């Protein structure tokens, strides 16, 4: 009896079927067709590139075992990717990927044109029943580069953004990750890039979405059993902007699906722009493979703006709103509100409102009252030095002892508590906390935070420490 591609593949399928979940078998193996057998290489045809990535990611081991059983140690697997037919184009687009060189293939930039653009797609932004193939970008035109003022604090991120919008997908800033604290302009800059791209390349499909909404759509798609439509939809985007990716932490299903969408877009030269309130090294509960993708491109930080930048942001805002305000008032506000541009703008708006409602003149007195309210409402941030001092006092040791290299249990605990509170009460990164508390690395701080969490739920005495210190440190 002669061996054919079909007979070899059937034997493989029998083996695989016995070893994986029936649903997975149905989804990932039934659609495959055996095409050809030459020498010791079996060619199989898969329906899409995504399919191929998924097989490589999840089933490459079992495929290898199955095929080696059939064809011996020199067995090879060749994927042929079949793209969907589209109107006017009866020729299927096929692509050959030799499996002898798999790892190289994965990173290689294979340009598979997206030809299923006209297939009916379930667009998660559109109310079911209404067919809408055009993808709305969800961008806010008020957030653009013209009104995103430049300063030392944002120069790198801003110019990286401009470079990306000049050549989306064509720079090494892919993904571009913009990170920084609350109210420092991440969302504004992310929109500005998208708006500028839409301006320069109207034919490109740009989509802005918050990580939270993305997660919700994903969950809905799983519920409605159209996860594949969800994935296909996102694979059509040329420029994908995802805001606040820290929201994905701990959500492994969403991370998994995003990983595959990301790979698809990246491999096809599409641009991905992400924002986060933390640097990649400080992101918790985000899978390593995703973090490593985030680091492929450029991570650019938005820092707190200096005084001059704060003044020019305020002046620009007043100018656009057509409001006049004396310089000394603007400077007073800029001097006292430092760490958040949203609050800076909030104070000025509140000042204008107060003066017009109460028919009061805008003067320094009024500015003081308004600023005071803002400063009071924003909790004062305690310093890491202060935390170390309070914790050492509480355990009756000095700060040097707390920072020392000793492994004595009560000292280790004090140090871990200091790290825990530094993480909880300051905006410092894990790395920066570690370097300030006895020159430890970020992993040590992370471990300390977890240990404190664990101990305070299992150890009564320890919980008391945490409660006492929380009181002492509250401002
Ligand atoms: P984040 O997303 O980092 O929390 P946002 O992008 O929402 O911050 O910005 C908060 C506010 O500050 C917005 O109104 C935004 O327009 C404004 N803003 C931030 N950075 C700048 C800047 N460089 N120039 C002008 N306005 C800015
Ligand atoms: Mg934001």
- Condensed to tens digits (0 to 9), the pLDDT of residues 212-270 reads 999 999 999 999 998 998 999 999 999 999 999 999 998 999 999 999 999 999 999 99
> Domain range holding 214?
145-302
Nearest CA to ligand 1 atom 4: 183
Q: How many CB atoms lie within 10 A of CB 214?
A: 26
Strands (E), 33-146: 33-38, 41-46, 76-82, 94-97
Residue 121 belongs to some domain of the structure = no
Task: Note the pLDDT of residue 116.
Answer: 36
Task: Note the pLDDT of residue 126.
Answer: 53
Q: Are 218 and 253 in contact (CB under 8 A)?
A: yes
* Least confident piece of the model among 85-89, 362-366, 438-442: 85-89
Task: Note the pLDDT of residue 90.
Answer: 33
Residue 135 belongs to some domain of the structure = no
225 and 293 belong to one structural domain: yes
Domain with 369 in it: what CATH number? 1.10.8.60
290 and 189 belong to one structural domain: yes
Q: Cis omega before residue 175 (within 30°)?
A: yes
Give the number of the atom of ligand 1 that is nearest the alpha carbon of residue 151: 23
DSSP-derived pairing of the beta strands 94-97 and 76-82: antiparallel
Give the number of the atom of ligand 1 that is nearest the alpha carbon of residue 190: 6
Alpha-carbon 264 to chain mean position: 16
Task: Note the pLDDT of residue 128.
Answer: 45
Give the number of the atom of ligand 1 that is nearest the alpha carbon of residue 316: 25
Residue range 381-422, pLDDT digits in tens: 688 998 999 999 999 999 999 999 989 999 999 999 999 999
Residue 90 belongs to some domain of the structure = yes
pLDDT tier, 143 (very low <50, low <70, confident <90, very high otherwise)? very high
Nearest CA to ligand 1 atom 25: 148
Among 170, 156, 194, which Cα is nearest to 273's?
194
166 and 295 belong to one structural domain: yes
Task: Note the pLDDT of residue 201.
Answer: 96
Residue 183 CA to ligand 2 center (angstroms) comes to: 7
Helices and strands (H and E) in the chain: how many: 21, 9
Adjacent-strand bridge partners of 77 = 42
Residue 342 CA to ligand 2 center (angstroms) comes to: 10
Among 270, 293, 260, 269, which Cα is nearest to 108's?
269
The number of distinct structural domains making up the chain is: 4
State how far the Cα of 385 lies from the Cα of 418, in Å rounded to an integer. Answer: 10
What's the predicted TM-score (pTM) here? 0.60
pLDDT at 89 over 50: no
- Ranges 117-126, 196-205, 358-367, most confident: 196-205
Adjacent-strand bridge partners of 275 = 178
Task: Note the pLDDT of residue 84.
Answer: 41
Residue 243 CA to ligand 2 center (angstroms) comes to: 7
pLDDT at 97 over 70: no
pLDDT at 196 over 60: yes
What average pLDDT does the structure give for the chain?
Answer: 85
Domain boundary among 357, 377, 397: 377
430 and 402 belong to one structural domain: yes
Residue 153 belongs to some domain of the structure = yes
Domain boundary among 287, 302, 317: 302
Give the number of the atom of ligand 1 that is nearest the alpha carbon of residue 188: 6
Q: Are 267 and 109 in contact (CB under 8 A)?
A: yes
287 and 397 belong to one structural domain: no
Pocket of ligand 1 (CB under 6 A): 147-149, 154, 180, 182-188, 313, 341-342, 345
Phi/psi of residue 460, nearest 5 degrees = -65, -45
420 and 469 belong to one structural domain: yes
Ligand nearest to the CA of 310: 1
Phi/psi of residue 443, nearest 5 degrees = -65, -35
pLDDT tier, 378 (very low <50, low <70, confident <90, very high otherwise)? low
Domain boundary among 248, 279, 302: 302
Q: Are 283 and 291 in contact (CB under 8 A)?
A: yes
Residue 417 belongs to some domain of the structure = yes
Residue 438 belongs to some domain of the structure = yes
């Amino acid at each position: 009896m002669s061996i054919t591609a079909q007979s070899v593949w059937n034997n493989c399928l029998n083996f695989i079927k016995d070893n994986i979940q029936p649903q997975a078998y149905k989804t990932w193996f039934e659609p495959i067709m055996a095409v050809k057998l030459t020498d010791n290489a079996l060619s199989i045809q898969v329906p899409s590139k995504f399919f191929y990535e998924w097989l490589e990611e999840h089933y490459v081991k079992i495929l290898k075992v199955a095929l080696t059983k059939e064809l011996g140690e020199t067995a090879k697997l060749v994927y042929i990717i079949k793209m969907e037919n589209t109107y006017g184009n009866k020729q299927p687009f096929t692509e050959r990927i030799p499996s002898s060189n798999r790892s190289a293939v994965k990173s290689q930039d294979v340009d598979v044109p997206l030809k299923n653009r006209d297939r009916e797609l379930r667009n998660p932004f559109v109310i079911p029943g209404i067919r809408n193939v055009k993808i709305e970008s969800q961008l806010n035109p008020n957030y653009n580069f013209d009104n995103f003022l430049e300063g030392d604090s944002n120069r790198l991120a801003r110019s990286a953004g401009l470079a990306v919008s000049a050549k989306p997908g064509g720079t090494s800033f892919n993904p571009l990750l913009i990170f920084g604290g609350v109210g420092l302009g991440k969302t504004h800059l992310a929109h500005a890039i998208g708006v500028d791209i839409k301006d320069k390349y109207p034919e490109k499909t740009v989509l802005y979405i918050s990580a939270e909404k993305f997660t919700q759509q994903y969950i809905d798609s799983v519920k409605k059993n159209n996860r594949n439509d969800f994935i296909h939809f996102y694979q059509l985007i040329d420029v994908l902007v995802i805001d606040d990716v820290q929201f994905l932490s701990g959500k492994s299903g969403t991370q998994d699906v995003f990983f595959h969408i990301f790979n698809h877009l990246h491999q096809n030269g599409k641009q991905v722009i992400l924002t986060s309130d933390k640097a990649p090294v400080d992101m918790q509960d985000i899978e390593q493979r995703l973090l490593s993708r985030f680091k492929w491109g450029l991570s650019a930080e938005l820092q707190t703006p200096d005084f001059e930048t704060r003044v020019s942001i305020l002046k620009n805002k007043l100018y656009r709103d057509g409001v006049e305000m004396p310089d000394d008032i603007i400077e007073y506000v800029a001097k006292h509100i430092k760490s958040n541009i949203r609050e800076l703008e909030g104070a000025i708006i509140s000042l204008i409102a107060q003066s017009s409602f109460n028919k009061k003149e805008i003067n320094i007195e009024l500015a003081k009252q308004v600023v005071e309210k803002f400063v009071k409402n924003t909790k004062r941030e305690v310093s890491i030095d202060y935390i170390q001092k309070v914790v050492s006092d509480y355990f009756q040791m000095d700060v040097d002892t707390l920072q020392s290299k000793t492994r004595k249990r009560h000292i280790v605990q004090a140090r871990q508590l200091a790290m825990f509170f530094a993480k909880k009460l300051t905006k410092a990164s894990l790395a920066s906390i570690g370097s300030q508390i006895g020159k430890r690395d970020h992993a040590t701080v992370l471990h300390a935070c977890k240990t404190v969490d664990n101990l305070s739920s299992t150890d009564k005495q320890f919980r008391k420490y945490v409660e006492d210190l929380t009181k002492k440190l509250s401002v």
